[in-house]
Amino acid sequence: MNDRIHPLLIAFAALTFLFLIGPLVIIIGTALSDTSFLTFPPQGLSLRWFENIFEISAFRRTMMTSFTLAVGGTIVSLIIGVPAAYALARYRVELPKFLANVYVLPILVPEIVLGFSLMKSVATGMGFSIWLSLLIGHALLVLPYCVRVTGASLNAFDFSIEEAAVSLGCPRWKAFFSVVLPNVRAGVIAAFILAFITSINDVSISIFLTGPGISTLPIQLLAHMEQFFDPTIAAVSVLLMGVTVAVMAVVEWTLGLTFLTK
Amino acid sequence: MTVSLTLENVSAHYGSTKVLEDLNLRVEEGELVSLLGASGCGKTTTLRLVAGFLSPTSGTIRLGERDLTRLPAHARNIGLVFQTYALFPHLTVLDNVAFGLKQRGMAGKERRAKAIEMIDRVGLAGFADRYPANLSGGQRQRVALARALVIEPPLLMFDEPLSNLDAKLRVDMRVEIRRLQRANGTTALYVTHDQEEAFSISDRVAIMNAGRIMQLDAPEVLYSRPANTFVADFVGFENMIAMKAVMEAGDAVRAEMAGGATLDLPKSHFAVPARNFIFAARAEGLQVAREGAGIPARLGLRTYLGRAYQYRCETAAGEVVANGPLSDPLEPGSHVVLVPQPDQCCLLKAETP
């Protein structure tokens, strides 16, 4: 029995951490820099670039758009995805195998292709408004996460439990809400978080679907960067990181983070 | 309220697969009938048809006078106990047991009192506030039993309820199931692949094969008078020897087997079903003896069973297994006779394959 850890392994682990954490540290440092250009290590300390985010109305507006879009798109996607995942798990013997893969297509198709085809079909083809096109695009983008993550929970669910509820006099639709859903809750929440983060970070699809007057935060970031190369971008990035950390903290506090990985 | 369960000409087909074929079954009021058979014999399909989780291709299912065939599962009022227990993991023992009462619109206070009473009856007093994850397998199955019993269903159904429990607990639980079923006088249908389990708790057992009931009888009858070679094989008649009745010999029928050996079967014990028939015997139904009237055989491998020796024997009609007394161990190669013990043998109609 040799409990010693090889020094190379320690070095490798340290490097991995460095690559994971390093960029984040650089971004935070850059955001705090007092200069009007991106630089690291920061020269002088200032929060003015954070203030700047909220002074630029385009950022305020697109932040709201991105947020409502992420929540709305995820909810639409869950409304479609959870019943689909339920059917795929419940009838996995009866249903053809390829059906489960259909729901993963939005991940397999290059996002830029998906974005372009959505623009051609939904936005210009069917003449939907920009907002509705974006909502449809984001719902479609996050659908694979909703189906697969809730599906993982549902596949581990013993459907005899649902049958037990039915045998005790509970109609099937009611049994879904009173017995199935409470027991796959963790999967649905995990799907929501993954979908939310995916949606709020999306560029490829949004860039085709945004238009006059309506944009999302990542698109606005790109537009801003073309004109100003100042630490505002870093500050926005830090803010997004903060939101993610806050979401994780809430999850940890209410459910325990382990449920995301199991 | 006790009622009978009737299945009339029930068939279930999946595409071209005929899982059940023209099944007829009647479980009398207050009776416990087991469906016994290997996996794929249609026993679970039968239970799921009665529960309403599957629809029959044709046929009628009735509970008392009520036609269940087209009734949705939740309206059938049948208590079900599952192999996996199927407790609601997010609810306490109390809420699990009260679930069915809640569906029936019973008020909170009354519901609680009734559920607590049932929890006590299955021997889980003090466990009402636990969650299923904190219970042992046996305790979980008790909760499942309480949950099914508390709605006072006219019919209880069990789907391999003891398969996930260890051997000792299985025996305790089946006694418990029988006790509660008897006490309530509830009609019950019990599905299992375990012969000992089925025989020990059932009033009658239906032995199933390939979607059909091969024989439906009291366990004692199945054990001693199987109706056909399938059932005989199932209940442990290891030896099947084809014979032909050749002549009357006093108060016996003389039968001849392959190789020309004959055996006199006393009419007082055996009723010959046809000219060509099958002589079926358990190993203990053929006693190895140095001499006497019986089937001539040459001994092969001897094994020790504790209560007897068992021998592989070669006869002119093929290899058979027979038991011999512990007091007289015989060596392989010995020439002996195998003497039939009428209470461990039976005669069956020869089946055309």
By C-alpha distance, the chain B residue nearest A184 is: B90
| Assembly ipTM | 0.85
pLDDT digits (tens, 9 = 90+) for B259-272: 888 888 888 888 88
> Which one is predicted more confidently, A53 or B254?
B254
Q: Which residue has the tokens 């789907």?
A: B159
Which strands sit side by side in the sheet containing B78-81, from one edge to the other? B78-81, B155-159, B187-192, B32-36, B204-209, B212-217
Name the stretches of chain A with pLDDT < 70. Answer: 1-2, 254-262
pLDDT digits (tens, 9 = 90+) for A160-183: 999 999 999 999 999 999 999 999
Q: For the CA atoms of chain B, what is the radius of gyration?
A: 25
Q: Given an 8 Å threshold on Cβ–Cβ distance, is A170 in contact with B103?
A: yes
Between A160, A179, A183, which is nearest B82 by CB? A160
Q: To probe the interface with B, which of A90, A162, A168, A181 has the most B CB atoms within 10 Å?
A: A168
Q: Given an 8 Å threshold on Cβ–Cβ distance, is B99 in contact with A170?
A: yes
Identify whether the C-beta of residue B255 lies closer than 8 Å to the C-beta of residue B295: no
The confidence score (pLDDT) of residue B117 equals 95
Full 3-state SS string of A20-72: HHHHHHHHHHHHCECCCCCCCCCCCECCHHHHHHHHCHHHHHHHHHHHHHHHH
Residue A34 neighbours by CB under 8 Å, 6+ apart:
A42, A43, A44, A45, A46, A48
Identify whether the C-beta of residue A237 lies closer than 8 Å to the C-beta of residue A27: yes
Q: Given an 8 Å threshold on Cβ–Cβ distance, is A168 in contact with B72?
A: no
Give exposure, B23-34, as e/b (b: 16+ Cβ within 10 Å): bebebeebbbbb
pLDDT band at B230; cut points 50, 70, 90:
very high
Give the H or E element holding residue A197.
helix A185-201
- Report the C-alpha gap between B87 and B316 in whole angstroms: 57
Average pLDDT, chain B: 92
Between B83, B90, B100, which is nearest A168 by CB? B100
> Shortest CA distance to A164 belongs to which of B43, B41, B150, B105?
B150
Give the H or E element holding residue B248.
strand B239-249
B53 vs A: CB within 8 A: yes
Residue range B79-92: mean pLDDT, rounded: 94
CA distances from A16 to A25, A244, A260, B65, B69 (A): 14, 21, 22, 72, 63
Which strands sit side by side in the sheet containing B58-63, from one edge to the other? B17-27, B5-14, B58-63, B66-67
Q: How far apart are the two ends of chain B, measured CA to CA in Å?
A: 46
pLDDT digits (tens, 9 = 90+) for B308-342: 999 999 998 889 999 999 998 998 999 999 999 98
Q: To probe the interface with A, which of B17, B81, B88, B164 has the most A CB atoms within 10 Å?
A: B88
Angle A57-90/A48-55 helices, nearest 10 degrees?
Answer: 80
- Report the C-alpha gap between B251 and B340 in whole angstroms: 16
The confidence score (pLDDT) of residue B283 equals 93
Q: Given an 8 Å threshold on Cβ–Cβ distance, is B87 in contact with A164?
A: yes
Supply the DSSP string of B13-24, one letter for each residue.
EETTEEEEEEEE
B88 vs A: CB within 8 A: yes
The confidence score (pLDDT) of residue B64 equals 92
Tell me the one-letter amino acid at B299: L
- Report the C-alpha gap between A91 and A100 in whole angstroms: 11
- The pairing of strands B58-63 and B66-67 is antiparallel
Between A161, A167, A171, which is nearest B88 by CB? A161
- Report the C-alpha gap between A40 and A29 in whole angstroms: 6
Q: Given an 8 Å threshold on Cβ–Cβ distance, is B80 in contact with A169?
A: no
Structure tokens at A209: 């679907």
Structure tokens at A137: 């695009």
Identify whether the C-beta of residue B187 lies closer than 8 Å to the C-beta of residue B3: yes
Range 118-147 of B in CB contact (< 8 A) with A: 144, 147
> Shortest CA distance to B207 belongs to which of A141, A218, B221?
B221
The confidence score (pLDDT) of residue A255 equals 65
pLDDT digits (tens, 9 = 90+) for B291-300: 888 899 999 9
pLDDT digits (tens, 9 = 90+) for B185-227: 999 999 999 999 999 999 999 999 999 999 999 999 999 999 9
Between A164, A172, A179, which is nearest B80 by CB? A164
